[in-house]
Amino acid sequence: MSVNYVIKEGFAGFKRTRLATVTSITSLTVAVLLIGILVHISFNTYQVAKSLKNAFNVEVFLKDLNKDQTKTIQGDIAKKSIVEHISYISKDSAAAIFKKQFGAAGASLADLKFLPASFKIELKNDVPLDKIQSMIKEIKQYNGVDEVSFNQHLLALLRARQRTLIFAGAGIGFIIVLASMLLVFNTIRLTIYAKRNLIKAMKLVGATNGFIRRPFLVEGMLQGIISGAVAIVLMWILFQYAIPDYLPQIGILRWPYGKAYYLMGGMMLLAILMGYFGSRIAARKFIKSTTIE
């Protein structure tokens, strides 16, 4: 089979159904752009949530203990399976932190060293709340522990919001992809219908369905390439020039993994796959159903 023939026929499909092709490319472009924006914002939301991890550390405030007692408690806590890291904050360190946060106004109060020594416990990612609560209950029973602080209600709320965003984003993305693939499907269907007499003639001379199908797959992939390229250009203009000028708060969003080409490469791949599978489904269905009379 000639590669030139396949490519030539793939481009020829653009001329046969111009309106449907333009509609399909436009829809694919919008879909890929919207998904790119969704991924871009979701990635930054995830990074913000990750950075908030420190707000949910467990703090264990101690009574006046000697070094051996402090080390014993620290060792017992460090052994727990949900603990990522534990650090000791002495009274002097607590006073220095207080001075830094409140400046000169709190300097005289900090010098009194009224703040107790404590442990700051960093938890592993995605630890269930019941395990955290169980550990806190156990730590409270230790001799020498005065109080344990942990904002479990805020953590539960944040995790619930994260799950909602993930499911909502996935649902929106799925609907966008499906709608775009249906438009590609319809475009290829119209192209096949326009070539129905030629397809019948090709079948009469022994052409297989696979041979007939390949130009339509090329056409779908070409639609994806054009759509992906346009979506990438729009994405770049949007987040590099338009948004920073008009919405500076959103303009500070970081590209996933620090580089724009990761997201843009994914957008191009998604566009090609959407074009390919939309055309593949249409070609398999309608070429097979085109019978010789």
30-75 confidence digits (pLDDT tens): 888 888 888 888 787 777 766 666 567 788 888 888 888 889 998 9
How confident is the model over 96-123, as pLDDT tens digits?
Answer: 766 666 555 545 554 545 578 888 888 8
Question: In the chain, where are the structural domains located?
Answer: 3-51+157-289, 58-149
Q: What is the mean pLDDT of residues 136-158?
A: 80
227 closest CA partner among 176, 289, 192, 189: 176
User: Lowest-confidence range among 125-129, 206-210, 222-226?
Assistant: 206-210
How confident is the model over 238-281, as pLDDT tens digits?
Answer: 888 877 777 665 556 777 777 888 889 999 998 898 888 888 88
CB count within 10 Å of CB 47 equals 13
Supply 211's token pair: 């041979």
Task: Give the span between the Cα atoms of 147 and 229, in whole angstroms.
Answer: 58
Task: Give the span between the Cα atoms of 239 and 247, in whole angstroms.
Answer: 10
Instruction: State which CATH number among 3.40.50.2300, 2.60.40.420, 3.30.70.3040, 3.30.930.10 fits the domain covering 58-149.
Output: 3.30.70.3040
Supply 124's token pair: 């592993």
Which of 7-21, 24-38, 206-220, 227-241 has maximum average pLDDT? 227-241
Residues 6+ apart with CB under 8 A from 243: 250, 251
Supply 23's token pair: 């509609």
